[in-house]
């Protein structure tokens, strides 16, 4: 794509492939969408998203997504938040802080390997009592069974998938944890933005097809009890652009129990 921005004329001109160039008002919603797509690619490739933290724990997320995530947790008010992918601990502590603020909920966070120092740091933080760390393959039968047994009858469950982002692994996680999600809640397959980063310096060509969003779309197509539903913004929804996220086609909303 070729983009020309003229701040004096307050215009943006862009051309995708062999298409005819299109000229837009610079401060229009459509121009914002074009610029956002480029900014997201730059932000990701420069690892700017790794510069944030939550209560001292590194949080590898786009802040826009984190604020939207907070809105959903505050609305759903889950009893159990299941997270795959502990990484530096930031998201587990983030979830736990919301649970503390809401006066309900706890976090189960899973990773293939959890360094002892990180485990100790999470346990020692003021929210450590709300976080259970499980080491193992998040999609393995043993880990899934352990998580399933830790969810009490009638508890509301929210699931956040942020571990191995290959389509095959995310699909395994969706199959494993989808049934635990309660109606009115979500299972979120993060980082489908990979499909739009394949041609960046840090990207990989196979990401075009091998990404979490592809797994989420396939899962929704086979499970009518779920639908892909981006949560609406609580305020000024008309001005929100879907493109400003790392999680396109990520939010799988549980409509009802599966048919017998």
Can you give the pLDDT of all 260 residues of the chain as single tens digits?
A: 899 999 999 999 999 888 899 999 999 989 999 999 999 999 999 999 999 999 999 999 999 999 999 999 999 999 999 999 999 999 999 999 999 999 999 999 999 999 999 999 999 999 999 999 999 999 999 999 999 999 999 999 999 999 999 999 999 999 999 999 999 999 999 999 999 999 999 999 999 999 999 999 999 999 999 999 999 888 888 777 777 899 999 999 999 876 65
CA distance 200 to 203: 5
Q: To 5 degrees, how large is the angle CA 39–CA 43–CA 46?
A: 135
Intervals of CATH 3.40.50.150 along the chain: 50-254
Query: And the tokens for 180?
Result: 């635990």
How confident is the model at residue 97, as a pLDDT?
A: 98
3-state DSSP helix/strand/coil % of the chain, to nearest 5: 40, 20, 40
Under 8 Å between Cβ of 246 and 193: yes
Question: What pLDDT score was predicted for residue 241?
Answer: 72
Instruction: Locate the DSSP E strands across 112-244.
Output: 131-135, 157-161, 186-189, 226-228
Q: What is the pLDDT of residue 260?
A: 58
**Structure tokens of 56?**
């001292």
Q: pTM above 0.85?
A: yes
pLDDT of 239: 77
Write a three-state SS string for 32-47: HHHHHHHHHHHHHHCC
Strand stretches in 88-174, DSSP E: 106-111, 131-135, 157-161
What is the topology classification, in CATH, of domain 50-254? Rossmann fold (3.40.50)
The residues with which 15 forms a beta bridge, in sequence order, are: 2
**Interatomic CA distance for residues 233 and 103, integer angstroms:** 23
């Amino acid at each position: 794509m070729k983009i020309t921005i003229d701040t004096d004329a307050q215009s943006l001109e862009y051309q995708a492939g062999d298409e005819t160039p299109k000229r837009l008002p610079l401060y229009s919603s459509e121009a914002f969408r074009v610029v956002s797509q480029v900014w997201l690619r730059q932000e990701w490739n420069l690892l700017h998203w790794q510069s944030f933290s939550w209560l001292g724990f590194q949080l590898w997320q786009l802040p826009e997504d984190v604020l939207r995530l907070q809105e959903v947790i505050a609305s759903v008010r889950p009893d159990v938040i299941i997270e795959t992918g502990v990484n530096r601990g930031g998201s587990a502590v983030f979830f736990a802080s919301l649970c503390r603020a809401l006066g309900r909920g706890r976090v189960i966070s899973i990773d293939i390997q959890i360094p002892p120092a990180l485990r100790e740091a999470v346990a020692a933080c003021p929210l450590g009592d709300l976080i259970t760390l499980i080491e193992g393959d998040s999609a393995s039968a043993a880990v899934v069974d352990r998580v399933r047994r830790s969810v009490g009858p009638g508890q509301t469950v929210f699931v956040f998938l942020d571990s191995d982002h290959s389509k095959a692994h995310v699909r395994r996680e969706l199959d494993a944890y989808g049934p635990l999600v309660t109606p009115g809640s979500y299972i979120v397959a993060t980082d489908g933005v990979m499909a739009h980063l394949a041609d960046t310096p840090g990207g990989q060509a196979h990401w075009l097809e091998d990404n979490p969003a592809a797994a989420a779309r396939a899962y929704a197509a086979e499970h009518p009890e779920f639908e892909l539903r981006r949560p609406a913004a609580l305020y000024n929804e008309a001005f929100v652009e879907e493109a400003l996220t790392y999680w396109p086609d990520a939010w799988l909303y549980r409509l009802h129990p599966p048919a017998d």
